[in-house]
Chains A and B, each alone.
Chain A
């Protein structure tokens, strides 16, 4: 009997290790022959630890399982039991999705390369190895894939710049510094299907002529660091990486580098400085990293999800991928639904669902059962969306048109107890803590922003135009998205919930 207990950090945070231990112990006591697979998470975090059993009728899910439930599950021979959910693939959360990037996450053993291949892995890389670099770049460009880290820059265009640059050494750098609150897609991908990222980076290297790659992985993700490290060793032992990738004669190798707790290192130039062993201070652009990146050499810097989506594009073709989506946002996006939400987790689907569908229908509203007040989309630098804007379709341009951003597709749901002024203040405080200090609007502006919000909270209405002006300066004058986008949460809170800012005057006056 094959039993799956996820090794994903979210599952572990909810007790999966104890469940796995209990499964082993119970099987031993009963003399039942089992194979325990520590898979990635299916993304239904409210059901974790989600235990699955392989049967002739497909995989059957049980959840959320506690270690104390395991004996009863064995008693029931993993059949009729109060925790049975049915066939995993038939659960509404799974059926509604289009899993392309996350097709194997939660399905396979993350560290079994044969299992990976059996589920379509390496098909894209093999195809890429038969193509010229230009053909690969053209395929990625044609797919419409845009940077999933948040900036939404066309991946193929970036690759073309690096491919065209002349240099003795080029690099592929994967940005795995997923610091935005409400985002965990990178983590789940690396923990649940690390070979997909490795394959994507190898394809990027072969397409652009880069022979070395780095995954800059945040230190807050010890599980992902462990799985990626183990996967790289297997990939090297099996000839997927090295002097001759899959025997092609083309070289590509890559390594994991661990960050050190600086949020700003998710910004690509700051990340490159950090990778070089410097303070994670933002660089002015130009020069573009594509021309002068890591150690001054041409460098592709892509997010985990961008790179991990490349294998399926090469496997199934640009036209297949491009066929999904909405407007200029092509393909699929792994939504990360988080915060105060009933059904939180990862849901990959084509662009184009409305915010309301995502929050109310897929997410099921709040966990507390109270009304949804606001949703912050795109992490700590993303705007707060009120219910009035729930008809906004999920897409880069559509969200920009509403003074917001898609970012890394994380959504934080808040119920009606949320204090919007306090959240605006937090955005400024966070920016002040994490500012690299290079540019004045961010370094000084964030501190002044906190002070001004404190004035407004104390009833000083004159602070509001000052805050608006400050946000304008930060947005236009900052070097990178940290200072430049902090105005999004602040101004959206002020714009959509003005009473919570002006209301303070009345309270203070009374």
Chain B
């Protein structure tokens, strides 16, 4: 078994130490690791498992259960489009089809130039001003095809 990369291991160890006092620290640790690296590096898992006295399978099991945690880096920008019912009622399916066509990718994929990752999201709590979107953490309401084009033009 190859040793984890020392740079990753030392940063992950710092993160774990910062969260050591928490009750149920694994999710906060995974969030912090993703914030630090943009994804959860494979090499982080054995370090976390060792420090929390869990098996690597358990840590991998937790990481892979949650939609938020990525095994690979996202594009430079992440566009999330809400697929839930209230947004559907305002045409979210049509808007999503437009975005997929415009970007030439499907859900969860990243454009070839690495600029944009497209993710579905089930509810941003913006159900009275749908269709809703989130661009790099910024919320946007009443998104139609033209607004998608504007948002993509802003980030590309």
Interface residues of A, Cβ cutoff 8 Å to B: 9-10, 12-14, 45-46, 48, 178-184, 186-187, 212, 219-223, 257-263, 274-281, 294-295, 336-341, 344-346, 367, 376, 380, 410, 412-415, 418, 423, 426, 430, 434, 436
Point out the residues of chain A lying under 8 angstroms from B36, CB to CB: none
Residues of B within 8 A of A376 (CB): 85
Complex CA–CA separation, A413 to B87 (angstroms) = 10
Which residues on A sit within 8 Å (CB–CB) of B123?
Answer: 178-181, 183, 220
Chain B residues within an 8 Å CB radius of A12: 139
B31: contacting residue among A14, A258, A279, CB under 8 A? A258
Query: Which A-B residue pairs are the 6 nearest by beta carbons?
Result: A277-B26, A344-B128, A181-B84, A260-B66, A13-B141, A338-B127
In which size bucket is the chain B interface? 35 or more
List the one stretch of B1-9, B110-118, B129-137 in contact with chain A. B129-137
Q: B134 contacts which chain A residues (CB < 8 A)?
A: 220
Listed by A's residue number, 27 A-B pairs whose Cβ atoms lie within 8 Å are A10-B128, A10-B129, A13-B129, A13-B141, A180-B123, A181-B87, A181-B123, A182-B85, A184-B128, A220-B125, A257-B27, A257-B28, A258-B28, A260-B67, A261-B67, A261-B121, A262-B65, A262-B67, A274-B27, A275-B24, A279-B62, A294-B23, A339-B85, A345-B128, A380-B84, A412-B86, A426-B88
| Given A179-B123, A181-B122, CB of A412 within 8 Å of CB of B129 | no
Determine the chain B residues whose CB is within 8 A of the CB of A13 once the complex forms. Answer: 124, 126, 129, 132, 139-142
Tell me if B104 is interfacial: C-beta within 8 Å of chain A. no
Q: Are B129 and A277 interface neighbours, CB within 8 A?
A: no
Q: Contact: B27 with A260, CB < 8 Å?
A: yes
Shortest CB–CB separation between residue A132 and chain B, in angstroms?
28
A261–B66 alpha-carbon span in the complex (Å):
6
Please name all residues of chain A whose beta carbon is closer than 8 Å to the beta carbon of B25 when the two chains form the complex. Answer: 277
What is the chain B residue whose CB lies nearest that of A222?
B137
Q: How far is the CA of A261 from the CA of B82 in the complex (A)?
A: 13
B68 to chain A minimum Cβ distance, whole angstroms, is 4
- Please state if B127 and A410 are interface contacts (CB–CB under 8 Å): yes
Once the chains bind, are B85 and A380 in contact (CB under 8 Å)? yes
Nearest residue (CB) in A for B140 is: A13
Cβ proximity bits B22-42 to A, threshold 8 Å, 1 near / 0 not = 011111101100000000000
Contacts of B125 in A (CB 8 A): 9-10, 178, 183-184, 186-187, 220-221
